[in-house]
Structure 1
Amino acid sequence: MSYKIVNKKKLNEVVYLMDIEAPRVAKSAKPGQFIIVVIDEKGERMPLTIADFNAEKGTVTIVFQVVGDSSKKLGKLEKGDSIKDFVGPLGQPSEFIHADLEELKKKKIIFIAGGVGAAPVYPQVKWLNEHGVEVDVIIGARSKDIIIFEDEMKKVAKNLYMCTDDGTYGFYGNVTMMLDDLVLNQGKEYDEAIVIGPMIMMKFACMATKKLNIPTIVSLNTIMVDGTGMCGACRVSVGDEIKFACVDGPEFDGWLVNFDEAMKRQTMFKTEEGRKALRNKDGDTHTNPNCKIGGKH
């Protein structure tokens, strides 16, 4: 079975959006989950967060940044082309979908999206909006030309705050500076923050929310490689526990995540020598022994 690309859009110079025809995945998908793409027989497994889904149309939206050979190959495909495998939905959905809606409506929630993180933030904000929960959103990027999902987010967020590191659009500063401004200067109050973006951005966002006493959830989809819990790439320390982002997550308590360790693993995992060193260091905890490939094709 193959999965047809029914829409393709270039969001900026290195980021693409695709709608994939995958009815079963679309029917089962929930905010916070991811899928695994395999382009062809020789293709690598690429875990990608679900950016949107439409059960009626039977489509799932993915957003990806062209960084390696597999993503470059995917970026060259066009509308009408097909990919070999589109497996999912995988991972645990966002916790708020299980919460009492009336209690959820009372909470003041802010989403903080950095760069491509705006894509996985969108389905969460959209779901909440559809269920009558109003939330604020910060979208930050290095500059105006790489911002994505602004128009889509405007339709589902109560308040949308844009910021750029270079000041070319919106607030002049990064997302943590934007949050500080909202809370300390504008008097905003939040009960919870949900942060998705590059690892370094999430680390500093969590440092900021801790100072402001805003409990924080982060999504560690960026450290996933194989998406099964077997490669060891997404092994992460959360408090005093060992977790695997692709099986136990990808969402965790941001205050408990050891970001420095996770970022060091990301760097080491890029070389065979690094992977071997991690296997030796981790021992029996290198992979998730209970991992099972879930989801539907």
Structure 2
Amino acid sequence: MVLYPIQVKRTLAPGVRLYEISAPLVARKAQPGQFVIVRVNETGERIPLTIADYDRKMGTITMVVQEIGFTTKTLAKMEVGDALLDFIGPLGNPSELRDSGTVVCIGGGVGCAPLYPQVRALSQKGVNVITIVGARSAEHLILTRELGRYSNQLHIATDDGSQGRKGFVTDILKDLIEQGTPIDQVIAIGPMIMMKVVTGVTKQYNLPTMISLNSLMVDGTGMCGSCRVTVGGVTKFACVDGPEFDAHQVDFDEQMKRAAVYRDQEAKALARLDCGCRNGH
């Protein structure tokens, strides 16, 4: 049986960890914007995690994981040398990145992780990259140094003003627009509400905007339909049609409602994890 050992594990922020997983076949084909489906053990659920980086030579995939659910908290208890049971990918369509012009890349919280390979790829193409990152506070900011390395400009916003500008990523975006900064595209990855608000701003100025939907998924190949999203009035599957979509066409309200569908089941699963129980006992 092929297993996928953890090579590196480190903490980036409270409740947020970076993992480098040995998965040579996945690393060989991975591209910015794609994701993997992970199953920690035989009793675990399947969850999608966007690829934060890849090293073809070392055969590793980097993931940044926020500990919010049963599987991510189970993963947090694993250490270097432990192995994941399933690691399927790369899945989804690679990002369609511009070859020129100016792109504003916006990352909220752990959304900065999947944003990073896109920022790097854009920079390597010679694109003028303006990156905006946001978090609740300075201690929750991640990958700012890595993003800054490949950005022509790096702006930071925190809710409490502990680093960068006090406020939200959209405040900085509005400033850039009002200052007359030429913008050819906006890419936003982060919490659903953040992407919705960013989209509201870019719609006003008719700025092309792409978002990444890490929706509820089961099989990751389009068979189960659990990741369906309405785009331009048409049902799409995030796993095979995405995960990136034209933000101006996405039904955000529907997506936000669907994200809460399994909240009760998740709470019960977390309770079982806390007590070390299985199957609800």
* Fold in common (TM above 0.5): yes
**Which runs of no fewer than 5 residues in structure 1 stay unpaired?**
273-297
Q: State the superposition RMSD in angstroms.
A: 1.4
Q: Look up the match of 1:295.
A: none
Task: Return the alpha-carbon distance in structure 1 between the equivalents of residues 188 and 69 of structure 2.
Answer: 25
Equivalent residue letter for 1:252: F
Map Cα deviations across residues 228-255 of structure 1 (whole Å, 9 max, x no partner).
3344432111012110111110000000
Q: Hey, what's the Cα distance between the residues in 2 that align with 1:91 and 1:4?
A: 23
Q: Is the 8 Å Cα contact of residues 103 and 127 (structure 2) preserved in structure 1?
A: no
Q: Which residue of 1 aligns with 2:250?
A: 257
**Paired residue for 1:245, among 238, 249, 252?**
238
Separation in 1, partners of 2:25, 2:261: 36
Is the 1:195–1:218 Cα contact (8 Å) retained in structure 2?
Answer: yes
* 1:224 partnered with 2:216: yes
Q: Is the 8 A contact 1:129 1:157 kept in 2?
A: yes
Counterpart of 1:190 in structure 2: which amino acid?
A: I
- Where do 1:169-248 residues align within 5 Å? 169-184=163-178, 186-221=179-214, 223-226=215-218, 227-248=220-241
Tell me how far apart the structure 2 counterparts of residues 197 and 230 of structure 1 sit (CA, whole Å).
26
1:14-65 deviation digits (Å, cap 9, x = unpaired) = 1110001111111100000000111111121111000000101111000111
| Corresponding position of 2:63 | 62
Q: Structure 2: how far apart are the matches of 1:230 and 1:14? A: 32
Q: Is the CA contact (8 Å cut-off) linking 1:233 and 1:269 kept in structure 2?
A: no
Give the SS at the match of 2:180: coil
**Partner of residue 25, structure 2:** 24
The one-letter code matched in structure 2 to 1:71 is T
Secondary structure of the corresponding residue to residue 256 of structure 2: helix
Segment of structure 1 superposing worse, 262-271 or 111-120: 262-271
Report the Cα distance in structure 1 between the residues aligned to 2:4 and 2:223, rounded to whole angstroms.
25
Q: Structure 1 CA distance, aligned partners of 2:152 and 2:141?
A: 19
Gaps of 5+ in 2: 266-281
Match of 2:12 in 1: 11
Q: Say if 1:20 and 1:77 are closer, same or farther in 2 by CA, change over 3 A.
A: same
In 2, the alpha carbon distance for the partners of 1:48 and 1:74 equals 12
| 2:4 maps to amino acid | Y
Please tell me the residue identity of whatever aligns with 2:53: D
Distance (Å, rounded) in 2 between the aligned partners of 1:171 and 1:231: 43
**Post-superposition offset of 1:271:** 5.1
- Secondary structure of the residue that 2:260 maps to in structure 1? helix
Q: Separation in 2 of the partners of 1:233 and 1:23?
A: 29
* TM value normalised by structure 2: 0.90
* Alignment of 1:111 onto 2:105: yes
**What is the aligned partner in structure 1 of residue 133 from structure 2?**
139
Deviation at 1:80, TM superposition (A): 1.4
Partner in structure 2 of residue 163 of structure 1: 157
Q: Deviations over 1:161-189 (max 9, x none)?
A: 111111111011101111011221x3312
What's the counterpart of residue 49 of structure 1?
A: 50
Q: Distance in 2 between matches of 1:239 and 1:81?
A: 43
Separation of aligned partners in 1, 2:180 and 2:10: 38
- TM-score w.r.t. the length of structure 1 is 0.85
How far residue 269 of structure 1 moved from its aligned partner, in angstroms, is: 3.9
1:264 counterpart SS class = helix
Secondary structure in 1 aligned to 2:249? coil
Distance 1:234 1:165 in 2: 30
